[in-house]
Amino acid sequence: MRTEVHVHGSLYLCEGVTRRQVEAALRPWLEYLDVERMEEAKSLEPDQPGIVYHARDGVLEICWTGAVGRTFEQKLEETVELLGPLTEQAGELELTYYHENGNDETRLIFVGPTPEAVHEAQRRRMVEDVAGLLARHFDEAAVNEVVALVNELFRRQWRQGKEAAPTLESPLPSVPPGRKHLH
């Protein structure tokens, strides 16, 4: 069974990273798509750039939609493991699955140079998400109280040795069924 997925995000790569290194890191994903080079990884959506490496700025831009099967996530995880050491800082890729039954599912995958950087990016994202949700209903003091607890939970998790790995995270709240949200 094939499902449509949109992958979106920008990764900031270390100075001096070459196009050849980027394509080598993308190899599992490119092989999955049965293409040789990132320019050939065309999106199903004609207005999306696909996978583009802006060497001058050191940015890998991904805005790609495609039909994928069950092994896609595994190939994407392999790609992320190879991309991580090339990144200057941790970043995230957002995956939105558009299932045939009309249900959409959004997931995050974090990419970074070290487990510490990935863990910090996960913490920052969680704080942003929780603070944004709570700010709609509570005052700043209440929001700060919960943010402090989230920060403590991340500190505790790190101390317990549950290092963050660049793997898929829990699903985010879904986009309403039938509505493609590409950005």
d(CA 178, CA 183): 15
Q: Record the pTM.
A: 0.79
pLDDT at position 183 is 52
> Is 41:29 a contact under the CB 8 Å cutoff?
yes
Tokens (6 digits) for 126: 């969680």
Q: What is the pLDDT of residue 30?
A: 97
Q: How many CB atoms lie within 10 A of CB 28?
A: 18
In terms of Cα–Cα distance, which of 142, 107, 6, 27 is closest to 75? 27
The more confident residue out of 179 and 109 is 109
Q: Which of 177, 39, 38, 6 is nearest to 108 (CA)?
A: 6
